[in-house]
Amino acid sequence: MDHPIKRDHARFRKIVKGKIRDNLRKYVSHGSQIIPKGTDKFTVPMPTIDIPRFKFGDKSEGGMGQGKGEAGDPVNGQPDPNGQPGQGEAGEGEGNKELEVELSLEELARILGEELALPNIEPKGKKSLQSVVDRYTNIGTVGPDSLRHLRRTYKQALKRQIATDSYDPENPVIIPIRKDFRYRASDTKVEMQNAAVVIYMMDVSGSMGDEQKEIVRTESFWINLWLKSQYKDIEIRYIIHDATAKEVDEHTFFRTRESGGTLISSAFNLCKEIIEKDYNPNEWNIYPFHFSDGDNWSADDTKLCMDLLDKVILPVSNVFCYGQVESRYGSGQFYKDLVTKYGQTSDKLILSKIKNKEGILDSIKEFLGKGK
Amino acid sequence: MNRTKPITGELLALKEEIEGYAIKAGLDFFPQIFEVCDYDTINILAAQGGFPSRYPHWKFGMDYDQLSKGYAYGLQKIYEMVINTNPCYAYLLQANNWVDQKIVMAHVYGHNDFFKNNAWFSNTNRKMMDVMANHGTKIRRYMDRYGADAVENFIDKVLSLENLMDINELFETSSLKRHRQEQSDQQKIESQDDGYLNDDRSQALKSFMRTKARINKRDEPLPKKEDDQISAERPLQNKSKDILGYLIQYAPIEEWQADIIGILREESYYFLPQRMTKIMNEGWASYWHSRIMTEDALDSSEIIDFADKHAGVMAMSRQNINPYKVGIELMRDIEYRWNRGMFGKEYNECTDMKEKHHWDTKLNQGRAKIFEVRKSHNDISFIDEFLTPDFCERQQLFTYKYNPRTGRFEIDSKDFLAIKQKLLSQLTNFGQPIIEVEDGNFMNRKELLLSHVHYGVDLDVNFASETLRNLYAIWRRPVNLKTKYEEKEVVFQYDGKEFKTIN
């Protein structure tokens, strides 16, 4: 029998997933744990249930630290609410020392999928991409000893002995000779695969600050990770726009800050061009993502956007995802317009509002949770 | 199922060796038992507060989830667990290398000595291993009888209030004495009809057997209390910080519910001294592992490994105080100062910095002083009495706070008084808000009035409202909380339907 804590653990997981004890659901917080990998850092979801207690509110009160520095110098990171002396009821544990570990991207994707309970994607369209793979499905008469197929070899020897009448059922001794030997051999196969393209569009007008971009960056990293785990071959294109749109590389995408007005249609137009030029919707799974703070220049332009969505983008895409990052300056009007037109839930269009960094995981779940 | 096993062979010999050094150093400890286990088991033990058997509850599963993820993804690793019991149990990770085991053992003897001698631990139950296991059995039995969900639900509500403790309850208060008296009286009465209790079996076992006996008597109808009889019992004025204790006495709850509150309350109070002496306890244990290792136990080939491990544990953080680091440095500072007589009127009034720096009366009371300190202080009095401006400067301590202009946390002050005040306020009431029952018959309507003793930091209102909701589920009449919010006196109320502010 396993330790009883495994039952507690299973119960905890069920509560977190919302299967039992619905009244605890509102206390579940989807925290995350940062995992350093190389020079970058990844976060792994680490859900907790916070039992409500009387506790001090204002964490901006600050705290205490130790180290070099003068008044006014920044203290990296946030105070850890669990790090105050005198907290925690465990016995005395010897200091926690950080260990280094290598996590592959596949493992990270698996963790993400597991934690968010993401369904696997069912690709649409026919498989169009060819790739060549060798599989050991054949049998040959020559080969290295390490690939010798014992069962086939003995079978062959048995056949020969019966044919030559040297087999005695009373004394069934089978001795393979050189020419009985059989070996596993490879077959070369052409496999067809699904191909996918992700087109990211981001509003970089003046109202999108660094924090908003950071959110988009983090979110698109995880989305890429998941889609990469689902499609063997994936292309990623980036478009930035303010009043005009242009295609850029990844580096520019996340670091550009423009100013000025916003015409979302410019991005949609460019997206349309890219699809028409490079991606035949019969062969490709197409995922356009658009991130903005929801401010568009005019109602006319919004109408133009809807037109483009209706006529071109939606019909060819697996799903179109719109993520609205909350910003102090944005009105959030575009989201409302989309909801009015397509409703909160639609087959081809997924809408998500991302309030702050904590909202990222929920938003990813909204985008990818449908398995499209 | 045996997940841990006693140490044998080389480790046992090592234990004897380290124990010898500990005795030589003058440490005074309970008999020490070491067991080894794998990482999964140590995660389980840590999740359960060090105890192999606890009542069933998802929160242990949650802690286990985090510990095992932390271990699997390489974020942290627990080297050892030590429990405040007599004999003192400590669990070592099987995979520790030889030097780790040495450090850990030496460290454990420090904790063991602290548990045995520090005054705040004097009333903790050293047979807690049995008590916890019995609590588990009791709660499982209640789950069989009343349903797992119902019992778990109730436990959740009680856990919501678990941090509202009165540290005075750790000592022999008059009410505690009265309680003891009542208990022993009752025991005498009970032992008349339950003859088997009159032997030398442990208190925990007896309490357990009594419950069993009570449950067996369940078929007889219990004398039902009349409603107004309960209200008559409710005192008009009875201030208490021991909220759970208060609820056991006055809330309109069933016997099993009262028993569960009692169980959780007992466990909370058991852990309280550890929460109150984190800095001292870790400082003391680190001081001794460092001494024992460097003076006796260390082989010269192990010195680099030791230095590496020790430095890892002592790492300073800019976001938080590392109790190990502050604790060990303060212990060493006290020892140094008392060796050289650097305290008292004459020293304090000396204005010549050079003379002060070279002050040495050859007093040599350092060792004796730290032994005395570990006996009588807790973290608050420890910091209050021994933190010096000099120490703060040497340890590069600072306070920081959020700067809304730059949107980041910045170093606020390196001033001694500011640091000391910040530390003390973090430690006050073991870091929890001070909440007391003010009135059990508020508005003359059997409502409960709690008041928050406000020392400058507001409560988190969202959490407070949810907590009141849980409290209501136990009190079953409107519950009120008097506090200060954004500079104003307010009373929050939850009346079973909505959460509102009354003035």
Q: Which string of b and e fits A257-288 if b means at least 16 CB within 10 Å?
A: ebeeebbbbbbbbbbbebbeeebebeebbbbb
- Residue A245: the pLDDT is 85
- Determine the topology of domain A194-368 in CATH: Rossmann fold (3.40.50)
In contact, A241 and A263? CB cutoff 8 Å: yes
Short-list B323, B313, B421, CA closest to A83:
B323
**What is the four-CA torsion angle of B176, B177, B178, B184, rounded to 10 degrees?**
110
Distance of alpha carbon B161 from alpha carbon A54, whole angstroms: 8
Residue B438 structure tokens: 């003010």
CA angle, B384 then B390 then B395, to 5°: 90
Of the pLDDT bands very low, low, confident and very high (cuts 50, 70, 90), residue A86 is: very low
- Residue A338: the pLDDT is 83
**Cross-strand pairs, A78:** none
Short-list B489, B493, B487, B436, CA closest to B237:
B436
**Chain B partners within 8 Å of A7 (Cβ):** 56, 61
- Residue A348: the pLDDT is 78
**Chain B partners within 8 Å of A10 (Cβ):** 61
- Residue B113: the pLDDT is 96
- Global confidence as pTM: 0.66
Distance of alpha carbon B362 from alpha carbon A91, whole angstroms: 39
- Residue A80: the pLDDT is 43
Short-list A235, A233, A248, CA closest to A201:
A248
CB-closest option in B159, B379, B481 to A86:
B379
Question: Residues A312-352: pLDDT tens digits?
Answer: 888 888 888 888 888 766 677 888 888 888 877 677 788 88
Are B275 and A88 inside 8 Å of each other by CB? Answer: yes
Q: What type of residue sits at position A117? A: A
In contact, B434 and B453? CB cutoff 8 Å: yes
Q: What is the mean pLDDT of residues B300-310?
A: 93
In contact, A259 and A205? CB cutoff 8 Å: yes
In contact, B165 and B268? CB cutoff 8 Å: yes
In contact, A101 and A36? CB cutoff 8 Å: no
Distance of alpha carbon A96 from alpha carbon A88, whole angstroms: 14
CA distance to B128, B217, B271, per residue, from B162 (Å): 18, 30, 11
CB-closest option in A60, A84, A92 to B426:
A84
Residue B236 structure tokens: 């008009």
Distance of alpha carbon B430 from alpha carbon B163, whole angstroms: 9
Asked if the interface predicted TM-score (ipTM) of this complex is over 0.90, the answer is no
| Number of cross-chain residue pairs from A and B with Cβ atoms under 8 Å apart | 297
Are A68 and B431 inside 8 Å of each other by CB? Answer: no
Element (H, E) at B309: helix B303-314
- Residue A84: the pLDDT is 35
Residue A54 clears pLDDT 80, i.e. is over it: yes
CA distance to B364, B372, B374, B375, B379, per residue, from B368 (Å): 9, 6, 10, 11, 19
**Cross-strand pairs, B80:** B92
Residue B140 clears pLDDT 80, i.e. is over it: yes
CB-closest option in A6, A69, A96 to B411:
A69
In contact, B339 and B333? CB cutoff 8 Å: no
CA distance to B232, B253, B470, per residue, from B444 (Å): 12, 20, 22
User: If you search the block for the tokens 């916003």, which residue do you land on?
Assistant: A262
Distance from the Cα of residue B212 to its chain's centroid? 30
Phi, psi (deg, nearest 5) at residue A34: -85, 130
Question: Residues B182-234: pLDDT tens digits?
Answer: 666 665 655 454 444 444 544 555 455 545 444 444 444 444 444 444 444 44
**In terms of CA atoms, which chain A residue is nearest residue B275?**
A86
**Chain B contact probe: residue of A2, A3, A5 with most B CBs at under 10 A:** A5
Distance to chain B for A358, nearest Cα, Å:
17
Of the pLDDT bands very low, low, confident and very high (cuts 50, 70, 90), residue B396 is: very high
Alpha helix locations (H) across B340-415?
344-349, 353-357, 366-376, 379-386, 389-394
Residue B310 structure tokens: 């020790």
Contacts for B481 with CB less than 8 Å, ≥ 6 apart: A54, B435, B449, B450, B451, B452, B464, B468, B491, B492, B493
In contact, A225 and A105? CB cutoff 8 Å: yes
Longest dimension (CA), chain A: 98
Q: What type of residue sits at position B348? A: N
CB atoms within 10 A of CB A130: 9
Are B69 and A46 inside 8 Å of each other by CB? Answer: yes
**Chain B contact probe: residue of A53, A103, A107, A328 with most B CBs at under 10 A:** A53
The average confidence (pLDDT) of chain A is 77
Are A85 and B324 inside 8 Å of each other by CB? Answer: no
- Residue A219: the pLDDT is 84
- Residue A262: the pLDDT is 78
Distance of alpha carbon B472 from alpha carbon B483, whole angstroms: 18
Of the pLDDT bands very low, low, confident and very high (cuts 50, 70, 90), residue B370 is: very high
- Residue A56: the pLDDT is 86
**Chain B partners within 8 Å of A46 (Cβ):** 66, 69
- Phi-psi map region of B440: left, alpha, beta (phi>0 left; psi -120 to 50 alpha): alpha
Which carries the bigger pLDDT value, residue A40 or residue A269? A269
Mean pLDDT is lowest, of B149-163, B219-233, B271-285, for B219-233
- Residue A87: the pLDDT is 29
Mean pLDDT is lowest, of A224-228, B101-105, B247-251, B417-421, for A224-228
Mean pLDDT is lowest, of A85-89, B45-49, B372-376, B461-465, for A85-89
**Domain residues of chain A, as ranges?**
129-191, 194-368
Q: What is the mean pLDDT of residues A189-213?
A: 78
